[in-house]
Amino acid sequence: MNLTERFIKYVGFDTQSDEDGKNCPSTQKQMIFAQFLYEELTKIGLEEVKLDKNGYLYATLPSNINKEVPTIGFISHMDTSPDCSGKDVRPRIIKGYKGGDIKLSKDMVLSPTKFPELLNHIGEDIIVTDGHTLLGADDKAGVSEIIQAMIYLMEHPEIKHGKIRIAFTPDEEIGKGADLFDVESFGCQWAYTVDGGEVGELEYENFNAAYAKIHINGCSVHPGYAKGKMINAGNIATEIVQMLPQDERPETTEGYQGFYHLTSIKGGCEQADLSIIIRDHDSKKFENRKQVVTDIVNRINTKYGDNTAELDLKDQYYNMCEKVKPMMYVIDIAKNAMIKAGVTPQIKAIRGGTDGAQLSFRGLTCPNIFTGGLNFHGPYEYCVIQSMEKAQMTIVNICEEVANVNFK
């Protein structure tokens, strides 16, 4: 099985996570995929293959070198985003993309007019959806690339490397992927998440992240006699959304600009619920953003009465930059590995987060490298085969680079 075949096989598994799930993994279908991968890794010949009760999968490629070198790891997540269906994914390969529009379905077109990055891949082979689901490159491309890299190293014993650990996690898309990760038994000096996008991306800065869940208690009264009595929870929900800064949304920001993002709104007159995610690279601005949401809820309760709006505000992860900077050699190794794979490194800040952000704060420094997928979390998602192959070889080259560096 080659890399493309492996990826297409893996996206056939529906592994959406669920932010309302009470267990880990948040959906049982993630465990089904994890069990499948457990069998795959065992058949491939990796050692110390372990799947724990929470859906975390670990394995080892032993060292083939007669000297002591750092143990490093590679991590990807098995779940796909709750934002778009991951069931019955039907991928299609556009061979030798010639430019122009790609028709996904009767009513949906992947166009360089809206997604100009497509034009960077003229002449390459692109895997797309049929417009009804996401593709699942986030992060089954990463899973596929890590496994294929391990196979490549086993098939090429002339490439010398130290002990390599790999891990696949559940629930990354709902901010819980690193919660129960066993950092101690993983036993790595550092690791890389393989969860980036465009070819060449190398990231060690990410958002500080929090979520705000707001429950609104209304008062339902017959509308014919509602004056001065009704409190419409649905109306208050929309009022709260409008009180957020309107020019600080994902669709109006870029680079290092933070945002507030409404991910869910539901309810009616009696009760309503809002889910909002809060993001900023700057820690002070991040704290200010959380205060804005808190102040809005307080204003609503002043206006409509105590406990009209109930706020659940929690941090999810923090900017890994401060943990990576003392170990910048891990970035230099990745850069050299990319160049060797024919890739120009593109160091940029993640407008999102990875398991690596949380793991870096738990003692496992963990920057992020590209997978070759783009337009994650929706039906316009696609993945470039040649970029995936370069990601695989970047992993291989990192393993070789670490064995050749003098750390004394």
So which residues are the catalytic ones? Answer: 79, 172
Give rounded-to-5 percent helix, strand, coil for the chain. 35, 25, 40
Count the Cβ atoms, other than its own, within 10 Å of residue 11: 27
Give the sign of the dihedral formed by CA 119, CA 393, CA 326, CA 361.
positive
Nearest alpha-carbon partner for 281 in 377, 209, 355, 199: 209
Nearest alpha-carbon partner for 205 in 321, 285, 112: 321
The span from the CA of 15 to the CA of 279, in Å, is 25
Give the SS3 label for residue 129: coil
Nearest alpha-carbon partner for 398 in 188, 159, 181: 159
The span from the CA of 345 to the CA of 338, in Å, is 6
The DSSP secondary structure of 281-324, one letter per residue, reads: SSHHHHHHHHHHHHHHHHHHHHHH-TTSEEEEEEEEE--THHHH
Nearest alpha-carbon partner for 34 in 152, 153, 177: 177
Backbone angles phi, psi at 185, to 5 degrees: -75, -25
